[in-house]
Amino acid sequence: MPELPEVETVRRGLQPVMEGQRIAKADVRRADLRWPFPPRMAERLTGATVTALRRRSKYILADLDTGETLLIHLGMSGRMLISGQTVGEFAHPHPAPEKHDHVVLDMDGGARVTFNDARRFGAMDLAPTSEVESHKLLAQLGPEPLGNAFDEPYLIGQLRGRGSPIKTALLDQRIVAGLGNIYVCEVLHRVGISPKRKASAISAPRVATLVPAIRDVLSEAIDAGGSSLKDYRQTGGELGYFQHSFRAYGREGDVCQTADCKGTIGRIVQSGRSTFYCAQCQR
């Protein structure tokens, strides 16, 4: 599933062709994805102008001049693809419709934005902009890891008394929004903390090291266009490149890249997810 860097990369790709632009026509080609689409979604989107395009956790939020916000979640395999307008160095004419093109937005500026989702775990919804932060998908989310509300005192306080493994705690979207399996593995390897260690057993100074590491890893991944493992693509169809910088995730059996460490990357399963770490240098 795309994590924060992938969703932010998609948002940035969509911004030049959607923000400030009117949706000339919305074509909704099925009744649902993961959940049913809201009633009259095509009608409510057609003619609306996107006043702002922002991100909350793993959701893209398109604020409309109609007073509603379109919530977009990419799910496991969802892609937002742009055609018909030059984006950066790439020009993409409108392709022929594909089987899994479920929502198509033709913008006044000539661009077409297509939501393609082969596995149909993605989602779209419409909610009043004034109430969108209390939407059921957003209401319980913790602070953004790249925002000012996420700092060392906050994380120390949140982890105090938690008996769950630190990896599980960092994946809890109520503690910090947008982190997923890939980037938590990378962060914990970077700071030398074992993913198996109880969150409450980690000293405050060591917890504090997590905050800049989380910011650094996410920022580096965004700069690289995210990580492409299976389905993820940027809005122009290009791959992300951060997977080439992985130090832990997916590197089972490889030599640990930590300086002076002679260990190898191992794999365990935590809460049904693969965890990659070095048992020698992550304590």
Read out DSSP for 165-186? BHHHHHH-TTTSSS--HHHHHH
Q: Is 58 a catalytic residue?
A: yes
Residue recorded with tokens 């990580």: 227
Tokens of 157: 């306080």
Phi, psi of 245 (to 5 degrees): -105, 5
Please, are residues 180 and 3 in contact by the beta-carbon 8 Å criterion? yes
Cα 59 to Cα 11: distance, rounded to the nearest angstrom: 9
> Nearest 5°: CA angle at 172, between 171 and 178?
65
Q: Is 273 a catalytic residue?
A: yes
Catalytic residue from among 34, 162, 196, 273: 273
Q: Using a CB cutoff of 8 Å and minimum separation of 24, what contacts does 127-134 make?
A: 127/68, 127/69, 127/71, 128/67, 128/68, 128/69, 129/63, 129/64, 129/67, 129/68, 129/69, 130/67, 132/61, 132/69, 132/71, 133/56
Cα 234 to Cα 227: distance, rounded to the nearest angstrom: 10
Catalytic residue from among 11, 55, 58, 190: 58
Cα 215 to Cα 223: distance, rounded to the nearest angstrom: 12
Q: Would you name the residues annotated as active-site residues?
A: 2-3, 58, 273
